[in-house]
Amino acid sequence: MKNLIKKTLLIESTEFNGSVSELKEYIRINIERKFKLDWISDTEFKFLANVSIGTVIVNHNPGFFDGIKGYAKLTELNNGKTIVELKTKLRVEMYSIGILFLVFLSIFFFSNENLPFWILFLFPAMILWFGFVYRLQEKRLFEKVRQYLTKENTLKFK
């Protein structure tokens, strides 16, 4: 089960041409970015898309859900560069769809009603559809973060 969940996550990495402290300074100075950034710890931050179609979030007005997001972990190398590992986590919506599917199955199993055949396809189709929509947006967000940390940007900083 753990391997299946890991396969559904988006995991990528990029290299920043500088140390962790230089990266943090770069982020502090270059505030014009196409995503929101929140620090979690000294070497980890969460990045959020400014617009999230599936969760109807624009410019991150406070709400219950963050929208499309990813997490970054910084690892400084001996050569003065920093590896930035970008990854997603399993979305709460996917848990909700799975739990709802189990609830429907339980209701029909313990009642005298026949399970409509279409329900067996509805919930997997929902997971596939939302997974596809979210993945497209997550890949776009990862691309924005990578572009922000590219060599051209780091050269402007130095």
10-residue mean pLDDT profile of the chain (158 residues): values are: 75 93 92 91 94 61 70 95 94 83 85 81 86 91 93 54
pLDDT (0 to 100) of residue 25? 93
The pair of structure tokens assigned to 67 is 């929208």
pLDDT (0 to 100) of residue 144? 95
CB-CB neighbours of 61 under 10 Å: 6
Q: How far is CA 44 from CA 15, 41, 63, 73, 78, in A?
A: 15, 5, 22, 5, 19
Contacts of 22 (CB under 8 A, 6+ apart): 16, 82, 157
pLDDT (0 to 100) of residue 154? 53
Alpha helices in the chain (DSSP H): 2-8, 20-29, 92-110, 119-148, 151-157
The pair of structure tokens assigned to 53 is 């179609």
pTM: 0.81
Cβ proximity of 37 and 47 under 8 Å: yes
pLDDT (0 to 100) of residue 12? 94
- Main-chain dihedrals φ then ψ at residue 42, nearest 5 degrees: -65, -30
pLDDT (0 to 100) of residue 56? 54
Q: Which residues pair with 118 in a beta bridge?
A: none
The span from the CA of 68 to the CA of 65, in Å, is: 9
